[in-house]
Structure 1
Amino acid sequence: MTFVQTTHGADFFGQDTHTAKAVRDLAGYARGCLPYDVREPLARLLESAGTSAETTIPAAEAATLADHLRTVASHRFTKAKAAKVARLLGDSAARAAAEGEPWTWTTTPNG
C-alpha cells in the first residue's frame, strides 16, 4: 500500500499520513463540489498522489488549495471519510501557507 505524507500536519512531528488511494479519491469530490475554473488544478494534484517521490507546492498556492479542500470537506455530498481527509489536507496546507513555507507531499511505501 502506498501512502502520502504531508508536511505541516497535525501529529507530533508536524506530518499527516494518508493512503494515496484516499487522496486520489478526493479528485472526484473536488470535481463535483467546485466550480470548473478552480477544480481542475486541485483534481490533478489529488490524482497524482503517490505517483512521484515528492511534490512541493509553494506557500501561495497552498493557501488557495487549502480553501478549496475545506470547501470539498464541508460540501453536503462529501462522505464523512473523504471529508476528514480533505479537512486534514486543507488544514496542513493552510498551516504551510501561514508559515510562508512550501507544502510538501512525500510518497512512502508504508505508513
Structure 2
Amino acid sequence: MTYVQTTHGADFFGQDTHTAKAVRDLAGYARGCLPYDVREPLARLLESAGTEAEATIPADQAETFAGLLATVASHRFTKAKAAKVARLLGDSAARAAAEGEPWTWTTTATG
C-alpha cells in the first residue's frame, strides 16, 4: 500500500500519514466543491499523491491550499472520511504557511 506523509502534521513528530488513495479521492471533491478558477492546482496536487517520491509546496501556496482544503472539508457533499483527510491536510498546510516553511509530501510504500 502507498502512503503520503506530510510535514507539519499533528502527531508527535510533526507528520501526518494518509493513504495515497484517500488523498487522490479528494481531487473529485475539490472539483465538485470549489470554483473552477481556483480548484485545478489543488486537484492536480491531490491526484498526484503517491506518484512522486517527494513534492514540496512553497509556504504561500500551502496557505492557499489550506483555505481550499478547509472549504472541501466543510462542504455538505463531502463524506465524513474524506472531510477528515481534507481537514488534516488543510491544518498541516496552514501550519507550514504560518511557519513560513515549505509543506512537503513524501511517498512511502509498505507490503
Bin for the TM-score computed over the shorter chain: over 0.9
Report the secondary structure of 1:27's partner residue.
helix
Partner of 1:100: 100
CA distances 1:35-69 after superposition (whole Å, capped 9, x unpaired) = 00000110000000000000000000000000000
For structure 1, the residue ranges without an aligned partner over 5 or more in a row are none
CA distances 1:51-99 after superposition (whole Å, capped 9, x unpaired) = 0000000000000000000000000000000000000000000000000
Name the % identity.
89
Taking structure 2 as the reference length, what is the TM-score of the superposition? 0.99
Partner of 1:23: 23
CA distances 1:5-24 after superposition (whole Å, capped 9, x unpaired) = 00000000000000000000
Specify the code of the residue in structure 1 equivalent to 2:24: R
Distance 1:57 1:32 in 2: 23
Superposed CA RMSD: 1.0
For structure 2, the residue ranges without an aligned partner over 5 or more in a row are none
Partner of 2:11: 11
Specify the code of the residue in structure 2 equivalent to 1:91: D
**After TM superposition, what 4+ stretches of structure 1 lie above 3 angstroms from structure 2?**
none
Distance 1:60 1:72 in 2: 19
Count of residues paired in the alignment: 111
Distance 1:31 1:9 in 2: 24
Partner of 1:66: 66
Specify the code of the residue in structure 2 equivalent to 1:55: A
